[in-house]
Structure formats: C-alpha cells, structure tokens
Amino acid sequence: MAVCLRKYGQIPVQATCNLLVTSWAPLLSRLFLVPGIGSRRQYVKISPSEATALLQENEYSEEVNYNSVKSFDTNQLSSNNPVEDARAEGRALYTTGMLFGVFDGHGGPSCAQVVAKRLLNYIAATMLPAEMLKEISSPGSLPSKDVSLLQFYNDNFELVQDLSTLYSKSFNKFLHKLHSNSTREFKMADAICESFVTLDDNISEEAKLEKLDPSRKVKPDSLHMKTLSVALSGSVGCIAHVDQEHLHVGSSGDCRQVTLTKICSWDSENESWVAHVLTEDHNADNAKEVTRLVNEHPENERDSIIRNDRLFGQLVPLRAFGDVRFKWTANDVKDYLVPMLGEQAVILSSLTPPYLTAKPDTFYHKLRASDKFMILATDGLWDLLSPSQAVHLVGEHTYGKEALKPFNLPEKGPIALGNLHGTLTSRILASKLKPIDANSATHLIRHALGGTEHGLDHQRLSQLLTLPDDSVRLFRDDITASIVFFDTTKSWPSVRSSSCCSCSKPIPTQILSLSVSCLLTHSTHSHPLVIVICYFSSNCPVTRPTHKVYNFQSEKTPYKFSVDFQQHKKTSAKMSARKTGRRGVTKKRAQRATSNVFAMFDQAQIQEFKEAFNMIDQNRDGFIDKEDLHDMLASLGKNPTDDYLEAMMNEAPGPINFTMFLTLFGERLQGTDPEDVIKNAFGCFDEENLGHVNEEKLRELLTTMGDRFTDEEVDEMFREAPIKNGSFNYVEFTRILKHGAKDKDEQEA
C-alpha cells in the first residue's frame, strides 16, 4: 500500500508522513534505491547467510495434496513495525475446497489482522448446506467462541478473549441470517460479496458499543478502544477459493491475484510462461472505479471526492475494510470519534457518506491442465515486480527446485537408457536454475529486492534489508506473497459444470453436475457410462437441499456423454445417409478426415491433447504402442491383459502418432451415446415419466446451466426439435439423433 496520511495519535502509526512524501515515494524508491559505485552513503552490510535468515524468518510451506491444490508457499517481509500485512490459508472442514487470502493494512495492523482471522470463516459459512446451517444456528447449539469451519495453516495470531467473544456473537448472527435465506439461489460470486460486506458491517457496528464521554477517560485496553482501533484503521484484501477445477477470486482494494498458465509448444523444450491478472486495482488510476464512485454521489461533490489521486486527498484505495471515517454519517463521527480524536476526525467534505465500501469485484477462472500456480500478493511486491516478472521467477524456481532434491532412480524395474539420458539432461538444465530458497515466495521476495537484469545483487539486497526503521518505508512497503500450486492432472471424482448458476458450490457428496449439453471425461476406449446427476430443480446444490443422484452404470472409468444440439442437423443427415445404404467410412474418407483433423479443434484443445499424448508416449519415440499403454495403465494401478491392450490398439487403422491420436478423439467427439442413455438423461427432468419436457423449462436449463446456450442457439435447436403444445418430445428427438428424421412416406404411414 502506498504510504497514507495518518493523523490520529490514538492509532500506533507514524505521524510524520506528509503529502509530499506520499506522492513521491514510488519515484524516490526508484531513483535512490541503491547508491552508485563509490557512493559515500554508508549502509549496514550483512552477509549472504544473514540476508537469507532475514528473508526466511516468516516463510511457510505446506504439502496439501488435497483437491486441486498440490501445495502452497507463503512468506512475509515487514517494512512497518509492526507489520501491517496479514495472510490466511484454510481448508474447508464441512464442504470442499481451500481458501487463501492476503490483506494489506493501513493506519495500523489491527484491521488487516482481524479481517484475516475472520473473513475466511464468513465465506466458508455461506457454502454450508441448509441442514448444517439449521443445526449450528439452532438455540443452544453454538459454542461460546467462534465456530471454526476451516482447518487453518500457519495461524500465529490469537484474538484476546473479549474480542473473541464479541466476534463470535457477530458471526452467529450471520449464521442465523444465512439459515433464514437458505432457500435462495446460491451463486459463489454473491457469497463472496456477502461475506466481505457483512464482515465490514460487523466491524463498523462493533465500534459503536457506547458513546464516549469527553470528560471520562477511556482505558486504552478497553474493548471499545480495541474495536475502534480496528474500525479506524483499514485493510484491502484479495481471496481465492479453489475447488477442483473451479477458481473464484474476490478483491477489494489494490492487492492483486495472478494465475499462471504454462504454454508448451510442440517442442517440449521450448516453454514460455504467461501471466493472467484476474483482479483490478481499486484506486484513482482505475478510471472505471473513479467513475463508479463519483456517480454514487451528487454532482456538486464531483470535484471534491478525489483529490491528489486519493479519496478526499487522504486515502489511496477506493475500496477497503474499516476506515469508518469515510463511511459513517456526521452524527456517528460526532458521537463516537470526536470525543476521542477531536475535530480532526471530521472530514469536512463528507456530505453524503458512505464514500468507501468493502464490496469486492469477483472473478471466475476454470483451471486447465496447463494452469500450474497462482500468486496472491500485496502491492509491496507489485511495486517492485510486474506480474510477468513474478510468474517467470516462480516458473523458473519450480523447474530449478528439482535440483535441490537428491537424485533417485525409480524403485520399480530398470530404467531405459533413453529415459535415463532424458532425466539426467533435464536435471543438468535444472541445476543451472538451482535457487537459494526452497520456498517460492521467499525466492520471489529475494528477487524483488535484489534482482537486476544481470541477476541477484547482494549489495542491493542487503541495503534494502537493513534500512533504518525511520526511512525504510520510503523505499519499500510490507511484502506478503502466497503461491498456490495446482495439481490439474487429476480426474475429479465429481465434476461440476463450471457455469452452473455461476457457482462451484462445494457439496459433501460426490456429485456430477450435468446439463443436457455438458461434457464428461472422455475415454478413447469404450467403457460403460457413469453419470451422477445433480438435479436442476429444487434439489440443485445452488439451493442447498439434498441432491438426487442417478447412477446409470457402475464403472470406474467415466465416458463422454454428449447431446450436441448444435450438431443436430449434421447428425440427422448422417443417419439419413446410413438408412440409404451408405454404411461405414471408406479409406479415402478416413484419410481426408485424418489430414484435416487439426481444423476440428482450437489451439488450446490441441495443446491439451498433445500433453495427454506425451504422457502416454512413455519412450518419447512419437508413437503410442502396446508397451506405452501398458506402462501408463500400470502407473495408474491397473493390470491390463494383452487382449485388452490389443483391442485398444485396433481402434486405430494404423500406427498411433499424434495425428492419429487426435483423429481418434475427433471421431468420438462427433458421435453420440446409446439411445437409452440419451433418453435417461432427458428423463431426469421428466419427473412424471411422460416422455416430454416443458419447452420453457428446457429453455431455462439450457440458458442458465452447464455451457449456457444463447437464446439464438436454443431457437435454432427448437426449430429442428419435435415440439407440440409447448412440450419437447425427447423420445422422438432421441430417435432422430440416432436414426435420422422420418421420410415423408413414413410420416404418412
């Protein structure tokens, strides 16, 4: 956070900051960060080992291996004393998924510490099923202290007893509120927003315990003084909820979240790292944010709200927790703040508060196989590094860290010389990037402080680590960074539509959310279908009641279910052609299909298929053979027979190189499932087993669930579909998909 004006002696912060310093701090930090060679400036010099000890003092790493999170690294380096940044990481105990957050405080550490301690529990509460909300919010069921819905990691901050009791009461009220609204539609984005806003409202109300009497001294350690300290200071924050392939982010202020994608070209040695910034900074540099704020207030305040790129010339972030001076009415400021702080607590230009909100912007990202990690960090890091620089540093660290581990040959069986050569070559390359730190967050902070275009500069690093307390804030801010590493190679036991009501609602049971147009994991080898359907009526997970589960066949390997309405015309034509005697595919047609297979997929799909091909092609000779298939299946705990492997190989008309591999997928993606499977899928929405579904109900499902068809796409599909008196005849539609439309003679007969 850029340095803010702090005026109030009751808050333990520097009181000497002025507008000149705060405006020029970013420039000063670049012009005078390191003296030139031969400079007479004297700095305390520390050895590399001492620098490492300082950098690693607050680092933390955890191997999670839960859901889609493989591990995470986090670290923090202070500039303020005490540090005003905070961080939090937790695993949901009663639902699924993990939560991560970084928080950048200003005006003191109180607000950031409290928000980090409380916010993740608020978010976890919004995801509880209705039955659990009812149980824990019933009279007498709540404990005296705050209900913990998460297993926290690296939690070194404890609330004092009186604050803990007060916060527990506020949290329990929130649980009752959630239970009373548990029948409404659930959306993850709304849940994040509600959690941010409710916590901020609670912080504000908790600071109004009693009106202060100017003639009576207030004890510094009283509960009221503690809550006022939290409410008068402030914090921005960014959180991420990761559940299987679903990543939801909420950001209020100017912390930043970055998701990294690893892009692999056809040459596996040629790799590049690409950063995707999911959040926006809420400050005066964001024109959209300034417009939002100005439009919320009368025209005559337009020129006074933003001055010197700050809210009323004082506050940099335009969204934040706490900072109640910018939120309370004039009467509240007079009753609760003036008796303690005097008239300086009043903002003269504040005519129509609130001017500040904690409501976050929310973002959704569906994790892909190429997504490897994300970075959450406060702006102390982003003042020194660009997102692109940060992701390259973490990417190189991930690769180079392998050289820190001892080299071990595989325990099972001999290793082929070709594979051994490749492994050793990779290790030699990794050793060139061998980092000093095993923790990637520490590596990031080290290079943010001491990195140059020629590599690490120890003099620069030691100078920034040993600056005096009274001047360090001019050169760098508190830095907090958390790096979360994804395991996107897993096949999820429960796959939920990424856009089902914009939610990735964690469900305690294994549920597969399925719309009529959804995609399941596809296998190149035919297996019985596994479908576990989350019912899209009152039993949808978005409304929290129990879930109806349909398990058509019990088989471990899921198979693709596809009813592609957009391909209906093509499918019908193909089936009609089949009825006239044109069965099978000639060799020439197969060759044409193979040669044009790359046109069937976009670049991202081809890349994912290439990654899958390389995983199966164990000996890297460019072809998949029986030995490759056997090794791959064996690594998954299978023991395939020779006949089984032969049957898989026979699905291809020739050697399976990447083009043929892609062709096999292309042929299957164009096909449809057995007739009874398609009928059963539609039947999930036909409670009375009538053989048809209401047209408007089906339209609503197609436009709001799953892949979300547009109204135009639904109209096109309905023009070809058997609809009569507002009812969609799925039995007839299934017959058309599988056998083609009836001829005129057949219809008349």
* C-alpha closest to that of 446 among 434, 464, 420: 464
pLDDT in tens, 268-289: 445 667 888 888 999 999 999 9
Provide the pairing of β-strand 306-307 with 455-456: unpaired
- Taking 3-state DSSP, the helix, strand and coil percentages for the chain, each rounded to the nearest 5, stand at 40, 15, 45
Environment class of residue 695 by beta-carbon count within 10 Å: exposed (0-12), middle (13-18) or buried (19+)? Answer: middle
How far apart are alpha carbons 270 and 257 in whole angstroms? 26
Note the pLDDT of residue 26.
42
The pLDDT of residue 273: 77
* pLDDT above 70 for 20: no
Q: Which two tokens stand for residue 163?
A: 């604050």
The structure tokens listed for 215 are 């003639």
Q: Of 107, 95, 136, 75, give the one whose Cα is nearest residue 6.
A: 107
Is residue 375 predicted with pLDDT exceeding 50? yes
- pLDDT class for 712, splitting at 50, 70, 90? confident
CB 391 within 8 A of CB 273: yes
DSSP state of 324: G
What's the pLDDT score for residue 14?
33
Give the CA diameter of the chain.
103
Tell me what pLDDT residue 383 has.
92
Q: Which amino acid is at 88?
A: A
* Span 669-678, pLDDT tens digits: 555 566 777 7
Q: What CATH architecture is 587-671? A: Orthogonal Bundle (1.10)
* Lookup: tokens for 665: 């997928």
Across the range 591-616, mean pLDDT stands at 64
Strands (E), 278-356: 306-307, 310-311, 321-322
Sorted by sequence, the CB contacts under 8 Å of residue 387 that are 6+ apart come out as 256, 258, 275, 277, 375
Give the pLDDT band (50/70/90) at residue 706.
low
CA distance 577 to 570: 11
- What confidence category does residue 175 fall into, taking pLDDT thresholds of 50, 70 and 90? very high
Give DSSP secondary structure letters for 431-484: HHT--S-SSHHHHHHHHHHHEETTEE-HHHHHHHHS--TTTHHHH---EEEEEE
Cβ atoms of 100 and 108 closer than 8 Å: no
Q: Which residue has the tokens 């991930």?
A: 398
Do the two domains 19-30+63-486 and 493-564+673-749 of this chain adopt the same fold?
no
State the pLDDT confidence band at 507, using cuts at 50, 70 and 90.
Answer: very low
More confident residue, 558 or 335: 335
Q: Compute the distance between CA of residue 385 and CA of residue 275 in angstroms, rounded to an integer.
A: 13
> What is the dotted CATH code of the domain comprising 493-564+673-749?
1.10.238.10
| Domain range annotation of the chain | 19-30+63-486, 493-564+673-749, 587-671
Average pLDDT value over all residues in the chain: 74
Question: Which among 58-67, 386-395, 612-621 has the top mean pLDDT?
Answer: 58-67
Q: What is the pLDDT of residues 203-256, one digit of tens each?
A: 999 999 877 666 666 676 788 889 999 999 999 999 999 998 999 999 999 887
Task: Encode 335-350: b = buried (16+ Cβ within 10 Å), e = exposed.
Answer: ebbebbbeeebebeeb
Measured distance between the N- and C-terminal CA atoms of the chain, rounded to whole angstroms:
78
Quote the tokens at residue 254.
């100017």
CB 191 within 8 A of CB 211: no
Report, as an integer, the average pLDDT of 643-650: 83
- What does the pLDDT read at residue 289? 95
CA distance 653 to 334: 83
Q: With helix as H, strand as E and coil as C, how does 100-159 read?
A: EEEEEEECCCHHHHHHHHHHHHHHHHHCCCHHHHHHHHCCCCCCCCCCCCEEEECCCCCC
User: What secondary structure does DSSP assign to 201-250, as a single string?
Assistant: HHHHHHTTSSPPPTTS---TTSHHHHHHHHHHSEEEEEEEEEETTEEEEE
* Coil/strand/helix, residue 405: coil
What CATH number belongs to 19-30+63-486?
3.60.40.10
Region 15-19 average pLDDT: 33
Highest mean pLDDT among 34-43, 91-100, 408-417, 708-717: 91-100
**Residue 382 confidence class, pLDDT cut points 50, 70, 90:** very high
- Indicate if the alpha-carbon torsion angle 564, 567, 568, 570 is positive or negative: negative
Q: What pairs with residue 551 in β-bridges?
A: 532
Has residue 184 got a pLDDT over 50?
Answer: yes
Q: What is residue 718's predicted lDDT score, i.e. its pLDDT?
A: 79
pLDDT at 600: 65
In this prediction, residue 369 carries a pLDDT of 84
The pLDDT of residue 316: 94
Q: Look at residues 721, 734, 741 and name the one whose alpha carbon lies nearest to residue 579.
A: 741
Label residue 519 by pLDDT band (50, 70, 90): very low
Cis before 528 (ω within 30): no
Reported as a single tens digit per residue, the pLDDT across 72-120 is: 999 999 999 999 999 999 999 888 899 999 999 999 999 999 999 999 9
Range with the poorest average pLDDT among 156-160, 497-501, 509-513, 568-572: 509-513
Q: What confidence tens digit (pLDDT) does each residue in 129-153 have? A: 887 887 776 655 544 444 678 999 9
Task: Please provide residue 168's backbone torsions phi and psi, each rounded to the nearest 5 degrees.
Answer: -65, -40
- Quick one: pLDDT at residue 215? 65
Nearest partner of 448 among 535, 546, 538, 377, judged by Cα = 377
- In this predicted model, what pLDDT tens digit does every residue of 619-646 receive, in sequence order? 777 788 888 888 877 766 677 888 888 8
Look at 436 and 717; give whichever has higher pLDDT. 436
pLDDT band at 724 (very low <50, low <70, confident <90, very high): confident
- Cα radius of gyration rounded to whole Å, the chain: 30
Asked if residues 706 and 500 have their Cβ atoms less than 8 Å apart, the reply is yes
Whole-number pLDDT of residue 742? 62
β-pair type (371-377, 60-66)? unpaired
pLDDT of residue 409 exceeding 70: no
Cβ(238)–Cβ(267) below 8 Å: no
Residues of the chain above pLDDT 90, percent: 36
Task: List pLDDT tens digits, range 545-590.
Answer: 222 222 223 233 332 333 333 333 333 333 333 333 333 333 433 4
Q: What tokens does 461 get? A: 């690093």
pLDDT score for 535: 25
> pLDDT band for position 407 (50/70/90)?
low
Q: Mention every residue, 6+ apart, whose C-beta is less than 8 A from residue 184.
A: 543
Alpha-helical (H) ranges within 247-326 are 287-295, 302-305
H or E stretch at 626:
helix 626-635
d(CA 267, CA 146): 54
Judge whether residue 711 has pLDDT over 60: yes
- In this predicted structure, the answer to whether residue 368 has a pLDDT above a threshold of 80 is yes
How far does CA 241 lie from the centroid of its chain?
5
pLDDT at 714 over 60: yes
Q: What is the pLDDT of residue 427?
A: 57
For residue 357, give the nearest of 115, 193, 225, 205 by alpha carbon: 193
